[in-house]
Structure 1
């Protein structure tokens, strides 16, 4: 038997438990604090709903499963029934871990969690440490990105439901892979959002791009905060996930004395201590504010830290993308110079207090020199940077393999925590478009219309041409076009790109000079048509020079050294089948000629040679 159903509904005068299978409605008992509970437990697998003051049945705000969609009844789920096999799993902190972001619905032809299990060995061979799932909370319709979830405690049924997520995590741990779950707490989607009927989950005191903000600091906010924190702990405890990626935390507007993020960080730290393995919180934040990763017991510029393990740093992506593609529209306007890339590769934030042209105001704050750079998650592709483009086109559609190698090396061999986006490792050319499946005709039409109207607001006409047709997010073919084509990975081009990524990840794991996130052992030097990223081991045990040749044609770079010449440990041109680099030893230096664009990596032992 599962526990008796209970629900927080402080404004209701009466709450009834509705059991559709038996056609009964039973009154629930009121308790202090606005809580209501059924007088008896119900068996696992029972469908149920709540009726407020005689109104229509609504799913449980803390529903563990929505087998009939987000408008249907909830179903009880016995989370303890899964026969876990990961008792020996030691856990994995996200700092420095090679992370791989994927969308369950488009990663495989089947679009399910069980189907993803069948591809996990590919990620193991690649050298991935952490698998990050885009949101799996239940949302309206069959397919979508997942950021419009409304049953935030449930797992989307077309993906396989909660039992499938447990099987997935167990299978990942068996292969040495940690699991990060992308969760959205800053808003709910428009279809099936019944939270406001139950209580003050939202407030007009603050506003976000999605409307009224989640109520984190007004009347009733204690229970709303508990809703968010209890849900996070449930993913860790009942589903054994290792990390949560928190969507757009800058939209969690909270004026209370202690920010929700700090409260969440301390709760997760306590649970990690209890279960004896590391648990991580990774924040997506647009604020460029080191306070996000400042520990809760410390302050940044006089403000208490939020205690996140790590945070996304988009400026590294922007610097790479703008430099290699030449794009300058929208938020790329302040990026594109080699000097900007140099700043991004050392300081994480390009906008660190100076003026942002795109925002037309000062933005961000400097990252302290002693702050571990592994606290910043960086990428050359992710769901946002690909999917929010008008055509969902990846860099592989416009960049040749050598330029893709430059991006990959900067991300994987830099001082940050690297993240890859599904298919990037073989140079996937399939788009990742924005797609949705709203069932309500008015909502569906509004989403389609809104996507088309956005085309003019982000400079896409300048890039694609004013006559380009923006794919309709509601069209089935938009979703189908976004599925990965695994045949590309088996092609000659895909195999060569995979070889390159495997070699880069291997260096990430084996070279002491690459593992460190300390700012003091990372330098960037600008050359004619090249950028040289130098990583030094903390203990003085050698260094790695990553030569990023940015333009076509032979690019010459002089690498100084003590003692004997450095060893060439990676040549992207060889791996990609486009030629090879040349080295010429000189007294105290080596001249490297790179067939650009491309990458060579040289290793120097301590004292040279």
Structure 2
């Protein structure tokens, strides 16, 4: 079999379109053109269960579906657009686009500051075109890489995107493929990269017709969503091709810079060449052919460094992964929450461990899991870890979708901002975090099946048992649930929201301008915690630049003794979250220090000192 088989409807220009479908158990497949002129044409059977057809007189905008064995009609599994939704016909689209990003070379992960957004709730309109109007504000904030939650066609008009059933088709209510291309083009104009969240571990239930075409799923394994995708059973070569072609499709036709691979721990694959490794190899080859690096970023709760270890070192060769341990360490220190998976966290030393090694759990016993968890990532560079203090999972998977702005004080919000942006890792902000958005980010869907919706409601309630939550989750199917989750952009210019926004801008500027903060080397890092005082001390240095950051996770004032901290030479304060400028209670720290005997940290305070070079 040719492992690089293009699938779907590929318009080749001059009225010619090539259709290719994998249906290994079908005896006959007909292409049913529905518009502008209805036609029914038999497709030719090829090797490995593929059917194809090159058709003249087919222009972009034509609607079509496939008829299997003269009976069932289904949309294209590799449809590029579903203008009438998941149950409707597929549409041929124009592949060409007037790209203006010829000079775009991308953003290295070591320089990236990510910003995660959900297209439907990012603006009142909930479209790509509306999001374009906000790019200048994000550029001014200092973020340079947007992470877009999944855009593959899902049922209805509102969904997080993880219930998608058409991985190649850009959601119609967001603006379809044309809108997405305009958005990416505009991002690159603003010098902002784009990561797309893709889901290769499952597909949603409603409108999922893959089983009608072939063995895309296997009964060998189970996932939280049912049968697992078939990555290692009979016919898995063609299933792998489907998802690899999907990845290449985003890079080739949408100029995407990186893919975030959702929940790869839910991909079960016992083959000698795991799917994730093959995907990394194919994307690397594509990058080489096209002269620009594309990245693969994994989400995994396994704490397994094999994902990001190079292939010559027996790894999969993915470029980076999310580090939930950082989030859990930070979250528990400031909220005091200890339920569910937060039971494993709550100490300053764990945040220290995360900054030093990437993972907190690298083989230690996990009380929540009731077993040892993870392996060591101490040899992996810091730019391979994406860290967050909030993201769609950690906010949206709370029963009431509360953001940190409603759980902690304003002073604590500033400490969290500093810990995130000044950490020796790649930071990710969740939309609205930069100004302390207070609207929740709730779980919402728009399924048309009443029985399915009843199951979703029941499942959401079951999900929160470990957290001992009381009451009922907001109705996932209610439009009000979706509307409540929209950002309130006007708050960016008001009161403490405006102050927090300026604080984030200042932190990002310091990270970019000061070599010691810009360099993500763990070899030039000294970090330790004072557990009793709930203080974190971080010293970083690079190319004659040296910085000390002090973080207090204590709700009370703390006095630091000289023996507990290290300040050799003379230091100038460059940021103090307790200053009145930042609506703080007033600073207790000196502007300059030299070997101090005692320093007094305000409750939930953050201070950054830069070493003054000695005169020669």
Correspondence list, 1:214-363, <5 A: 214-298=229-313, 304-363=314-373
What is the match of residue 178 of structure 1?
A: 193
- The answer to whether structure 1 residue 9 and structure 2 residue 19 are counterparts is no
TM-score by length of 1: 0.94
Corresponding residue of 1:301: none
Q: CA–CA distance in 1 between the matches of 2:159 and 2:16?
A: 31
Could you tell me whether the CA contact under 8 Å between 1:532 and 1:545 is conserved in 2?
no
Separation in structure 1 between the aligned mates of residue 40 and residue 307 of structure 2, nearest angstrom:
47
Asked if the contact 1:203–1:212 (Cα under 8 Å) also holds between the matched residues in 2, the reply is yes
Deviation at 1:581, TM superposition (A): 2.3
Q: CA deviation at 1:402?
A: 1.1
Q: 1:507 aligns with which of 506, 510, 519?
A: 510
CA 1:204–1:537: 2 relative to 1, 3 Å: same
Give 1:460 shift: 3.7
How much does 1:270 deviate? 1.4
Equivalent residue runs for 1:24-173 within 5 Å: 24-41=39-56, 42-80=58-96, 82-173=97-188
CA contact under 8 A between 1:139 and 1:148: conserved in structure 2? yes
After TM superposition, the structure 1 = structure 2 runs for residues 417-456 of structure 1, keeping only pairs within 5 Å, are: 417-455=426-464
Supply the distance in 2 between the matched residues of 1:590 and 1:419 (Cα, whole angstroms). 37
SS in 1 for 2:18: coil
Q: Partner of 1:385 in structure 2?
A: 394
For structure 2, list consecutive stretches of 5 or more residues without a partner in the other structure: 1-14
SS in 1 for 2:604: strand
Partner residue of 2:466? 458
Q: Give the whole-Å Cα distance in 2 for the aligned partners of 1:450 and 1:425.
A: 32
Moved more, 550-559 or 417-426: 550-559
Residue 404 of structure 2 is aligned with which of 395, 398, 401?
395
TM-score (ref. length: structure 2)? 0.93
How many residue pairs get aligned? The number is 594
* Secondary structure in structure 1 of the residue aligned to 2:553: strand
Do residues 594 (structure 1) and 601 (structure 2) align?
yes
Name the CA distance, whole Å, in 1 between partners of 2:101 and 2:140: 20
Shift of the 594–446 alpha-carbon distance from structure 1 to 2, 3 Å rule, reads same
Deviation per CA, 1:97-136, whole angstroms, max 9, x where unpaired?
1000000000000000111101111110110010010000
> 1 CA distance for matches of 2:130 and 2:594?
56
Q: Deviations over 1:552-595 (max 9, x none)?
A: 343333553333x2111111123421233233466534754332
Find the aligned partners of 1:203 and 1:226 in 2 and give their Cα distance: 16
5+ long unaligned stretches in structure 1: 299-303
Give the conservation status (yes or no) of the 8 Å contact 2:535–2:554: no
Query: Deviations 1:390-429 (Å, cap 9, x if unpaired)?
Result: 1000111021111111111111111111000000000111
| Alignment root-mean-square deviation, CA | 1.7
**2:552 equivalent in structure 1:** 549
Is 1:573 paired with 2:587?
Answer: no
Determine the structure 1 residue equivalent to 2:477. 474
| Contact 2:412–2:553 (CA under 8 A) maintained in structure 1 | yes
Change (3 A) 1:494 1:213: same
Secondary structure of 1:57's aligned partner: strand
| Alignment partners' CA distance in 2, 1:169 and 1:105 | 16
1:531 corresponds to 2:543? no
Contact 1:566-1:608 within 8 A present in 2 as well: no
Q: Distance in 2 between matches of 1:608 and 1:381?
A: 43
1:289 and 1:608 mapped to 2: Cα distance?
A: 47
> Residue 603 in 1 paired to residue 613 in 2?
no
Following superposition, the deviation at residue 208 of structure 1 comes to 1.4
Q: Is the 8 A contact 2:527 2:536 kept in 1?
A: yes
- 1:399-418 mapped onto 2 (5 Å cutoff): 399-418=408-427
For 1:520, which of 513, 518, 523 is the aligned residue? Answer: 523
Change (3 A) 1:233 1:16: same
Query: 2 CA distance for matches of 1:508 and 1:87?
Result: 28
Alpha-carbon offset, residue 157 of structure 1 = 0.3
Per-residue displacement from partner, 1:323-345 (whole Å, max 9, x unpaired)?
11000000000101222222222
Secondary structure at 2:600's aligned position in 1?
A: strand
1:441-478 deviation digits (Å, cap 9, x = unpaired): 111121122223333x12242xxxx3x33201011111
Residues 139, 151 of structure 1: 8 Å contact kept:
yes
